[in-house]
Amino acid sequence: MSVEAVLSRISEIRSQIDTLRGGSAATTASTSAASSAASSSAFADALATATGTGTAAAGTTAAGTAATATAAPATSVDAGADTLATGSGATGADVVADAKKYLGVPYVFGGTTTAGMDCSGLVQTVFKDLGVTMPRVVPDQAKMGVEVGSLKDAQPGDLIIPKGEGHVVIYVGDGKVLHAPRPGKDVRIVDNWYSDADIATIRRIVPSQASATTATTATAAASTAASSTTDLQTAALLSLMQSGSAA
C-alpha cells in the first residue's frame, strides 16, 4: 500500500469518527458513552479493512471495556434506608467537622438553629449543611443509611441510637461522641457511655473516609480505561502509517 493510499484511508476513518461524535452531541450521558464505544468500534473495523489484520476484534473489546468503565453507580443526596447518601461527596470526617461548629449551642427542644437545638435537630442540621436530606426525628433517623454491626466497627460520623430511640449521638472517634444532651446543657463532646447492649442501632449515612478513597480510586481507574481507548486509536494510526511507508 502506498503512502498516498494510507493517508487517504486515515482521512476516511477520521471522517467516520467525526460524524459519529457530531451526532451524539445532543444525546444524554448514557447515549454519549455508547456513541464513544461505537466510534471506537467503527475505527477498529475500518482499520482492519485497510490492513487485513485482526485489530477490529481487539478494538471492539477495548471499546466495550471503556463503555463499562464509564458507567457509574447511582448517587443520592437524600438519606435512605439500606443505602449511603453519596451524592454530596460528604464523608464521615466531614460530618464530625461540621458538627463541631455547633459546640456550645444550647439545648432547645425542637430547635434546629444556633439559637438552640435538640439531639435530632443537631443531626438534621449537620447533614443539611453537607447537602444531605435527613428526617427530623430520631425514630426516622434510625432507619436511614446502612447499619453498623457494633461499636468496634463504628467510624467517625456514624450515628448511635440507644434502645427506645429517645436520643441520638454522633460518633467522633476515639470512644467519644458529640450530642445535644438535655435542657440546661449545650452541644458538647463527651466519652461514649453506651455499650452494645444499650444500643438499638448504629447508622452510617455517608461513606467513611476509607470508602470515599476507594470511590476516588475507582473513578481514576475508569478514566485510565477511557484514555487507553484513545491510546489504542493513536497506536493503530501510527502502525498504519508505518506499514504504508514500508510499502
Set 21, 167, 176, 188: catalytic member: 167
Residue 118's CB is within 10 A of a number of other CB atoms, namely 24
Distance CA 169, CA 182 (A): 12
Cα dihedral 86, 131, 81, 149, rounded to 10, equals 70
Please, which residues bridge with residue 202 across strands? 148, 160
CA atoms within 13 A on the CB side of 241: 10
* Catalytic annotation present for 167: yes
- For the question of residue 179 being annotated catalytic, the response is yes
Within 24-72, where are the H helices? 29-51, 55-70
Residue 244 is placed in which grid cell?
A: 504504508
Q: Active-site residue among 10, 63, 85, 119? A: 119
Q: Among this protein's residues, is 80 annotated catalytic?
A: no
List, by residue number, the catalytic residues.
Answer: 119, 167, 179
